[in-house]
């Protein structure tokens, strides 16, 4: 049998990584990629253990796949830290990100989604990512960070620069670093502008008040704003594309949602499990640990293959079946535990609202498969273009 | 640092110290206390940090908000003194408190 191998930078791999992940789960679930110098965990149980045991699997100096990203990207993001520092910073924002608070953004999100959809209804053509997915999450997160509409395209362009990877590009490129530095410069000015208040009840308000109170330094404020621009944007954008694609691939499932829109929230959970947009998240080993007969040494880097864990047959019955009524709660698309995605409720709300509005207006959309295009990044997985045709609205 | 005692449903107890300003879910998960999942990391969206607090302490705490009450609707074994740990901030007033944990946090497909 050919030995299972996996290069998370391989562009071909991004199109359908699931068979390779399955092979790894079956043949070598604690796999060491010599070329990249990284362990990859592919089973739900192992990934879950790594998420929970935060003393053995640490975030300081990890999270992204490139080992030198800490030096090249110097503004501290709390995702790259561990308790108790991590907990203190995270808790500043957590109250803002609960489902109850996020509900306040729902009307705004729906209005924006409709504004993005409506102009296309008479033409019968729509690109789920290029016409909607890439704008909506940036718009909503910007409403919390006070980034004006006129700057949003610019910030999104830099975020795209930061995450873009050429085929098998294993190191950060000049484009990646300059995207990051452009964001750092922009958010440096942005922070200076808001430093003296007024401190509103939103993310920028909390950030700047925390700085004034001596809880955060300016470089942490800038790092957090960059993190929000990436995390609040790229992953949800990609999830919208993945959901559009999977519902098209499974018309009988899509029909269930058209007939009963109350199921859409559950369908979002199934897309998160079946085809989540966050592929791998990295940890560093804090103390030697044995896993399935292998020893991971202190300082080693280890990739938690979330989208593989979520297809593990030992956890989910018929894992490769897309079932919008499945309702599994413990998929790890947003991670698990203390580092779990702070924006999870926001992402869930955004994607649900988008498909509530989409399925009302174009329940019969057909994706033009040959024109699908992908973003290539080892962490974030999804499309840049998901063009579709649908029955146009008749002229009035 | 505040001392808290988490008691699992079978009586196993864990005495830990927790920094003020953290919450009861973090008090458990940062000390690897079994019986608290804290799946969503404290954004009040998974109800897997369900716990029971002593009545006299409960009265001194800020009341549960609407989001927490809505999540509590879904937990198994809800009682009058049920709270979600992630919504209870640890203060000096809680020093020495016993936090009882339910049999299950209801995780699992």
Domains defined along chain A, listed by start: 11-389 (1.10.630.10)
- Which residue in this structure is represented by tokens 């302490």? B57
Is residue A222 predicted with pLDDT exceeding 90? yes
- Selecting from A87, A315, A337 the residue whose C-beta is nearest the C-beta of B39 gives A337
C-beta atoms of B41 and A339 within 8 A: yes
Residue A68 has pLDDT above 90, yes or no: no
Of A87, A94, A97, the CB nearest to B30: A87
* Contacts B37 to A, Cβ<8 Å: 337
Residue B82: which H helix or E strand, with range? strand B82-84
Task: Round the average pLDDT of chain A to a whole number and report it.
Answer: 92
B60/chain A closest Cα distance in angstroms:
21
Residue A67 has a pLDDT of: 63
Spell out which residues of chain B touch residue A100, defining contact as CB-CB under 8 Å: 44, 65-67, 70
**Are residues B42 and A90, on separate chains, in Cβ contact within 8 Å?**
yes
Q: Rounded to whole angstroms, what are the CA distances from B50 to A123, A268, B69, B84?
A: 51, 25, 11, 5
pLDDT of residue B108: 54
Contact status of A332 with chain B (Cβ, < 8 Å): no
Round to whole Å and give the CA distance between A137 and A234. Answer: 8
What is the per-residue pLDDT for A375? Answer: 87
| Tens digit of each residue's pLDDT (9 = 90 or more) over A231-280 | 878 899 999 999 999 999 999 999 999 999 999 999 999 999 999 999 99
B79 band by pLDDT with thresholds 50, 70 and 90: very high
Q: Is the pLDDT of residue A69 over 70?
A: no
ipTM more than 0.90? yes
Secondary structure letter of residue A29 according to DSSP: S
- The string of pLDDT tens digits covering residues B19-50 is 999 999 999 999 999 999 999 999 999 999 99
pLDDT tens-digit map of A165-199:
777 777 888 888 899 999 999 999 999 999 998 99
Q: How far is A344 from chain B (nearest CA, A)?
A: 8
Q: Evaluate if residue A207 carries a pLDDT over 50.
A: yes
| Residues A99, B21: C-beta atoms closer than 8 Å | no
The pLDDT value given to residue A169? 76
Q: Is residue A65 over pLDDT 80?
A: no
| Interface contact B39-A329, CB threshold 8 A | yes
Residues B74/A128, Cβ–Cβ less than 8 Å = no
Contact yes or no for B22 and A341 at CB 8 A: no
Minimum distance, in Å, between the CA of residue B30 and any CA atom of chain A: 8
Listed by number, the residues of chain A in 300-329 with a beta carbon closer than 8 Å to a beta carbon of chain B are: 315-317, 326-329
Q: Which residue of B has its CA nearest to A55?
A: B30
Fold topology of B2-100 = Ubiquitin-like (UB roll) (3.10.20)
- pLDDT at residue A91 in the model: 94
Positive/negative CA dihedral, A360, A363, A368, A373: positive
Average pLDDT over residues A134-145: 94
Over residues A80-86, the mean pLDDT reads 90
C-alpha torsion A31→A17→B38→B50, nearest 10: -120
pLDDT classification of A1: cutoffs 50, 70, 90: very low
- CA B11 to mean position of chain CA atoms: 16
The fraction of chain B above a pLDDT of 70, given in percent, is 98
Contact A337/B44, CB-based, under 8 Å?
Answer: no
How many interface pairs between A and B have CB atoms less than 8 angstroms apart?
85
What is the average pLDDT across A34-60?
95
For position A11, what pLDDT does the model report?
81
Cα distance between residue B55 and residue B8, in whole Å: 18
- Determine how β-strand A57-63 pairs with β-strand A382-385: unpaired
DSSP string, A240-296: HHHHHHHHHH-HHHHHHHHH-GGGHHHHHHHHHHHH-SB-EEEEEESS-EEETTEEE
Lowest mean pLDDT among A64-73, A376-385, B18-27: A64-73
Given this model, what pLDDT does residue A396 score? 54
Transcribe A129-183 into DSSP letters: IIIIITTHHHHHHHHHHT--HHHHHHHHHHHHHHH---TT--S--HHHHHHHHHH
Least confident of A77-86, A168-177, A188-197, A294-303: A168-177
The pLDDT assigned to B109 comes to: 38
Handedness of CA A355, A156, A145, A211 (dihedral sign): positive
The whole-angstrom separation of Cα A314 and Cα A44 is: 8
- Across the interface, do B41 and A340 touch by the CB < 8 Å criterion? yes
Q: What is residue A391's DSSP assignment? A: P
- Percentages helix, strand, coil for chain A (3-state, rounded to 5) are 50, 15, 35
CB contact under 8 A, A338 and B19: no
* A57-63 β-sheet, strand order: A30-33, A38-41, A301-305, A280-285, A57-63
Distance CA A267, CA A41 (A): 26
Q: CA-CA distance, A375 to A176, in Å (whole number)?
A: 14
pLDDT of residue A210: 95
| Location of structure tokens 């000390």 | B31
Nearest chain B residue to A101 by CA distance is: B67
Residues of B in contact with A91 (CB under 8 A): 21-23, 26, 42
């Amino acid at each position: 049998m050919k030995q299972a191998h996996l290069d998370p930078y391989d562009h071909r791999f991004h199109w359908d990584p699931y068979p390779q992940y399955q092979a790894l789960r079956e043949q070598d679930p604690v796999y060491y990629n010599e070329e990249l110098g990284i362990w990859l965990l592919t089973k739900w149980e192992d990934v879950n253990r790594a998420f929970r045991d935060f003393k053995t699997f640490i975030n300081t100096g990890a999270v992204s796949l490139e080992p030198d990203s800490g030096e090249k990207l110097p503004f501290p993001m709390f995702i790259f830290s561990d308790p108790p520092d991590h907990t203190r910073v995270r808790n500043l924002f957590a109250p803002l990100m609960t489902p109850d608070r996020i509900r306040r953004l729902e009307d705004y999100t729906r209005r924006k989604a409709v504004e993005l959809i409506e102009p296309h209804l008479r033409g019968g053509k729509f690109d789920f990512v290029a016409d909607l997915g890439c704008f909506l999450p940036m718009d909503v997160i910007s409403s919390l960070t006070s980034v004006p509409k006129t700057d949003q395209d610019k910030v999104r362009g830099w975020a795209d620069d930061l995450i873009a990877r050429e085929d098998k590009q294993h190191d950060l490129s000049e484009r990646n670093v300059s995207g990051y530095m452009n964001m750092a410069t922009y958010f440096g000015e942005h922070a200076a502008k808001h430093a003296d208040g007024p401190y509103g009840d939103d993310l920028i308000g909390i950030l700047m008040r925390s700085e004034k109170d001596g809880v955060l330094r300016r470089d942490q404020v800038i790092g957090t704003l960059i993190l929000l621009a990436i995390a609040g944007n790229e992953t949800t954008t990609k999830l919208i594309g993945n959901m559009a694609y999977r519902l098209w691939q499974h018309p009988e499932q899509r029909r269930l949602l058209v007939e009963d829109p109350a199921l859409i929230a559950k369908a979002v959970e199934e897309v998160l499990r079946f085809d989540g947009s966050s592929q791998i998240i990295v940890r560093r080993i804090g103390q030697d640990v044995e896993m399935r007969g292998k020893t991971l040494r202190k300082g080693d880097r280890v990739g938690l293959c979330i989208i593989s864990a979520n297809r593990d047959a030992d956890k989910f019955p018929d894992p490769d079946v897309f079932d919008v009524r499945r309702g599994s709660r413990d998929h790890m698309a947003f991670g698990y535990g203390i580092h779990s995605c702070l924006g999870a409720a926001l992402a869930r709300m955004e994607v649900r609202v988008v498909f509530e509005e989409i399925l009302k207006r174009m329940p019969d959309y057909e994706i033009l498969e040959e024109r699908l295009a992908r973003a290539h990044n080892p962490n974030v997985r999804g499309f840049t273009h998901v063009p579709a045709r649908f029955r146009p609205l008749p002229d009035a | 640092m505040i001392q808290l005692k988490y008691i699992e449903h079978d009586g196993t107890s864990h005495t830990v110290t927790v920094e003020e300003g953290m919450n009861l879910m973090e008090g458990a998960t940062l000390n690897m206390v079994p019986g608290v999942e804290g799946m969503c990391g404290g954004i009040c969206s998974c109800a897997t940090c369900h716990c029971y607090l002593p009545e006299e302490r409960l009265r001194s705490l800020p009341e549960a908000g609407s989001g927490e009450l809505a999540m509590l609707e879904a937990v198994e074994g809800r009682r009058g003194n049920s709270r979600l740990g992630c919504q209870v901030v640890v203060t000096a007033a809680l020093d020495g408190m016993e936090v009882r944990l339910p049999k299950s946090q209801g995780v699992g497909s």
